[in-house]
Amino acid sequence: MLLGLMLIFYINRRAEIGGLKYFRAMIGIVFMLTLCEALEDICDIYGLSVRVLYLKTALVYWFYPLIAMLELYLVVPMKRKLLWAVPYAVNALLVLIDLFDTRLIYYFGDDHTFHGGALSWLPTAVLVFYVLMLGLNSVLMLGSGYRSKGTIALFMTAAAVITAIGEGVGFARGLTEEVTAFELLIYYFFLSAIGYSEAQETIYENRLELERQRLKLLVVQIQPHFIFNVLTAIQSLCYTDSMKAAECIDVFGDYLRANINSISSDEPIEFDDELEHIRQYIDLEKASRDDDFTVIYELKVRDFKLPPLTVQPIVENAVKHGALSRRDGTGFVKIMTEERDGGIVITVSDNGSGAGLTAMQKEHKSIGIENVRQRLKLQCGGSLDISLTPQGSVSVITIPMQQ
């Protein structure tokens, strides 16, 4: 089990997992305890000096409480760790003194028999103290909402208690190292799972932020597109009809005052606000041109939200490349809204040239259309489909109802 843990550590050596220093320390300690158990057998079989048993026992009395303390450090984010180490330091000092046959905690007879001293309870008491602290903090973590970590910590506590009882009554004698290694393995996989989950969450957040930045860029791109078109129209009117130019400036000023905040926002807006954008654009377009056209509204549903400047660019394309292509004044743009198949469907159609657009016109349209398509996808999971025919174009915006 220890070799398996070391192999996992090596394979995942670049993984950022908290508490690795405690893991490494505990693996080394469990390995030393395993050697200590073997050392006692070797001492008995080959009749080595009793001083070997003193050393072995000192290591055991040092290592078992140390493992429990390191488990506490590993699982519980503790402050003043040096203060929590005081019981262990006292135990370690007295165990060290017993190496000189003071017999405070333990000693051995000439026949290698073990005997407890006046403070023989101390190593066990220190071990129990750290196990109890681990159990108490496990319960606190469960009560504080850290259920996963609290459950794992409680499992480690229960395993330590059951093993200690088993050692005492004899049904699990010699299994402490195996159980400790198993606890480390379980907790390492738990931390690995948490680390993977956090990494996935970070990746998701980064992708989400990237999409937000893309969305802001798309909105920034579309603002000057519309504003430039309006200013160009007003400029041309200044040379031909100053009164109309003044009217356009008034309408455009109202548009900017009423809608600049919603244009700059990456949040969905009410359809009625978008409808107001459309009507202001229609007023600006009609005021700046001699050619006339008709706008037909069939709005069966209006109580929904959508990304700002979603329908207006579609209407703008329908007017410029559709309705205004008919020089006889019969051009029209039709705007429809309805609920269909669990979503909102917005249809913008015209009776213009449609499939007869020039390559330059199609390229100009594609910039604004792709912008709208991307913002629909990013903000509300919507879609935009456009069909061109000799009788005109039909643009269909679909917004899922749950959005």
288/169 same-domain check: no
Asked if residue 225 belongs to a domain, the reply is yes
235/317 same-domain check: yes
Burial (Cβ within 10 Å: 0-12, 13-18, ≥19) of residue 65 = buried
166/227 same-domain check: no
Asked if residue 35 belongs to a domain, the reply is yes
Asked if residue 180 belongs to a domain, the reply is no
223/144 same-domain check: no
Give the separation between CA 150 and CA 216, rounded to whole angstroms.
42
Which pLDDT does position 403 carry in this prediction? 53
Q: Tell me, what CATH number does 300's domain have?
A: 3.30.565.10
* pLDDT score of 25 more than 70: yes
6/142 same-domain check: yes
30/121 same-domain check: yes
Asked if residue 45 belongs to a domain, the reply is yes
11/114 same-domain check: yes
Q: How many CB atoms lie within 10 A of CB 119?
A: 17
Which pLDDT does position 174 carry in this prediction? 66
362/294 same-domain check: yes
Asked if residue 302 belongs to a domain, the reply is yes
Number of domains in the chain: 2
Asked if residue 190 belongs to a domain, the reply is no
268/348 same-domain check: yes
105/228 same-domain check: no
Among 174, 196, 219, the domain-final residue is 174
Among 147, 174, 201, the domain-final residue is 174
359 pLDDT tier (thresholds 50, 70, 90) = very low
CB-based contacts of 401: which residues, under 8 Å, 6+ apart? 339, 342, 343, 344
Q: What is the pLDDT of residues 131-170, one digit of tens each?
A: 888 888 888 888 887 788 788 888 888 887 887 777 666 6
Q: How many CB atoms lie within 10 A of CB 332?
A: 19
385/258 same-domain check: yes
Average pLDDT of the residues in 85-107 = 90
Asked if residue 170 belongs to a domain, the reply is yes
* pLDDT score of 216 more than 80: no
Average pLDDT of the residues in 204-222 = 65
- List the single range of 44-58, 105-119, 358-372 with lowest mean pLDDT: 358-372
pTM of the model: 0.49
* pLDDT score of 344 more than 90: yes
81/145 same-domain check: yes
Q: What is the pLDDT of residues 287-337, one digit of tens each?
A: 766 677 899 999 999 999 988 878 988 998 888 888 888 877 788 999 999
> In terms of residue numbers, what domain contains 115?
2-174
Asked if residue 296 belongs to a domain, the reply is yes
